[in-house]
Structures are given as C-alpha cells and as structure tokens.
C-alpha cells in the first residue's frame, strides 16, 4: 500500500519535472510574442485618469484570463482532432491585427486633429462608454495575441503526452497573463510612485530626483510603447501570414524576416481596412434598423 503511494508520488514528480522543462522551452519560444503582447497592451492600458488606471487594467486582465480559458481547451481539441482549423484561425486573427496596426498608421498620418480639438475630444469621450470601448478593444487584441501564444506553446510540445501538453500550455497561458499585465501595472503607476517619492523626500535629494525622473519618463515611455505596439501588431500579423502561407514563405525567401513580415503586415492591413470598415458600416446599419 505504502509502496504504491510512493510510486504515485514518483510519477507525479516525474511529470512535474517534464512539465517544468517543456514550460521553459515553450516560454522561450513565445518570448518574442510576449514582448509584442507587452508593448501592445501597455499602450492600450494607458490614457485613463489616474484613479481609473488600475480598475481598467484589472478589467483587461480578467478579460485576458477569460480569453485563455476559451482558447486553451479549443486549441487542444483542434490540435487533436482537426489541426488545419488552427491555421485558419491564425490567419483570421492575423488579418485583424494587421487591420489594427495599419489603421493606427493611417489615423496618425491623415486624421490627426489639432491640439485644441484633442482636448475637446478627450472631455467629450470621458465616461463609462469610452472606457468600456477601450477595454473591449484591448481584450479583443489580447484574444488574437493569446491565440498566437497558445498555438506556439502547443507546437513546442506537440510530441509530448496529452497531459504534459495540457499542463504546459496552461502554465504558459497563466504566466503570460500574470507577467505581461503585472509589468503593465508597474508602467502605468510610474508617475504615482514618482509623486510619492517626491513628497516623502520633501523634493530634496536622490529620491526626489528619482521621483521626478519617473514622472517625466512616463509620457515618453507611453509614446514609445504606442509606436512599438503599432509596429508589433504589424510584425506579428505579417509573421502569421509569412509562416502560414507557403506561397508568401517561398516568395519572400532571402529577404530579412523583419522586412518581409512588416511588408506582409502592411499589405494585408491595407486589404483588411475596407473589409472591416464595410463590416462596421453594415453592423451599424443593421443595429439602426433594429432600433427603429
């Protein structure tokens, strides 16, 4: 009886060792996409009143956990019973990411408003509706990036037993969410930490200087993350197309990966713009008719 119990413990310990090794491998393979995920979500989680930053971030984090609760079991089932569906889902997600990235570039180049108009717009958009809209956008983008993370993690353990696959992919999904949004929380609270340091040091000495640095650095970091996040969206989308469409993969052979992926992201983003714009207009039209 006791020997059987210890045998079970040995099996569990061996399984945990295998999961630890495979999780480390999967995390290494998803490191690039996690960096993109961080840049994109940090940019999307900023721009709120100080008192609303953490509640909004928590709402996005909960949405991210729900995304992964949906994605992980579906990805495991599809991988086991119908692998081609994963590629289709990836390509659809890539089209959405390309659309988001290219739309931001077009907005920046052609639809920027004057400073005075921006202030008026910010005042008009304050409130629950604007907040909910931005949270929905962040959760939708997180959904696509989460698919990419889960698929890459799953691909790294494709030859392992099913239980190892489940535990590894689940561990990567949890670590990705906690890690990414934990770092985002630190970024968005930089200015508050800086103000506290300045107050406690009576605006004198090293800690006061550090506090001033944190306060001044936050807007710069947010702008950098905005640019990096947009580029990340396009690169992730382009990478999905280049690696999952054989014609593109062979056509762009010999071109540096960053260049080919960025170019593919831009092209598919431009294709996606009229598709999504038309879809939005059709949805608004249907919604308007239902209301009347």
For the stretch 114-145, pLDDT in tens is: 444 444 344 444 556 777 887 888 888 888 78
**Confidence grade of residue 21 (pLDDT, cut at 50, 70, 90):** low
pLDDT at 266: 94
> Rounded to whole angstroms, how far apart are CA atoms 92 and 102?
16
> Rounded to whole angstroms, how far apart are CA atoms 119 and 109?
19
CB under 8 A, 24+ apart: contacts of 167-170? 167/15, 167/19, 167/23, 168/19, 168/22, 168/23, 168/26, 169/26, 169/72, 169/75, 169/76, 170/72
Give the other-Cβ count within 10 Å of 115's Cβ. 7
Mean pLDDT of the chain: 77
User: Which of 2-11, 56-65, 244-253, 278-287 has the lowest average pLDDT?
Assistant: 2-11
For the stretch 238-262, pLDDT in tens is: 888 888 888 887 887 888 888 898 9
What token pair was written down for 129? 């509706």
Residues 6+ apart with CB under 8 A from 95: 237, 268, 271, 272, 275
Pair 33, 149: CB distance under 8 Å: yes
The distance from CA 160 to its chain's CA centroid, rounded to whole angstroms, is: 27
Furthest-apart CA pair in the chain: how many Å?
A: 78
CA angle 20–170–86, rounded 5-degree value? 120
pLDDT at 263: 92
Give the other-Cβ count within 10 Å of 151's Cβ. 23
Phi and psi at 11, nearest 5°, equal -65, -40
**Confidence grade of residue 13 (pLDDT, cut at 50, 70, 90):** low
């Amino acid at each position: 009886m006791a020997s059987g119990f210890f045998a079970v413990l040995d099996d569990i310990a061996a399984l945990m060792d295998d999961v630890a090794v495979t999780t480390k491998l999967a995390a290494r393979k998803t490191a690039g996409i996690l960096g993109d995920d961080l840049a994109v979500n940090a940019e999307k989680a900023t721009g709120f009143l100080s008192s609303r930053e953490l509640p909004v971030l928590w709402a996005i984090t909960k949405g991210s956990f729900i995304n992964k609760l949906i994605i992980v079991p579906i990805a495991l089932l599809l991988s086991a019973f119908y692998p081609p569906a994963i590629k289709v889902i990836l390509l659809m997600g890539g089209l959405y990411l390309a659309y988001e990235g290219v739309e931001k570039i077009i907005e920046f180049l052609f639809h920027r408003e004057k400073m005075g108009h921006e202030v008026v717009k910010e005042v008009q958009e304050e409130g629950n509706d604007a907040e909910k809209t931005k949270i929905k956008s962040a959760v939708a983008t997180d959904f696509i990036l989460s698919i990419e993370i889960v698929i890459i993690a799953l691909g790294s353990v494709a030859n392992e037993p099913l239980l190892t696959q489940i535990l590894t992919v689940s561990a990567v999904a949890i670590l990705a969410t906690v890690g990414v949004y934990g770092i985002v929380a630190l970024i968005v609270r930089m200015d508050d930490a800086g103000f506290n340091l300045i107050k406690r040091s009576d605006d004198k000495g090293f800690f006061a200087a550090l506090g001033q640095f944190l306060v001044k650095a936050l807007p710069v970091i947010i702008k950098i993350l905005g640019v990096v996040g947009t580029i990340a969206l396009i690169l992730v989308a382009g990478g999905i197309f280049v690696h999952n469409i054989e014609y593109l993969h062979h056509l762009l052979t010999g071109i540096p990966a960053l260049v080919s992926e960025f170019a593919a992201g831009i092209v598919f983003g431009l294709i996606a713009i009229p598709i999504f714009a038309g879809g939005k207009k059709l949805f608004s039209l249907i919604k308007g008719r239902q209301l009347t």
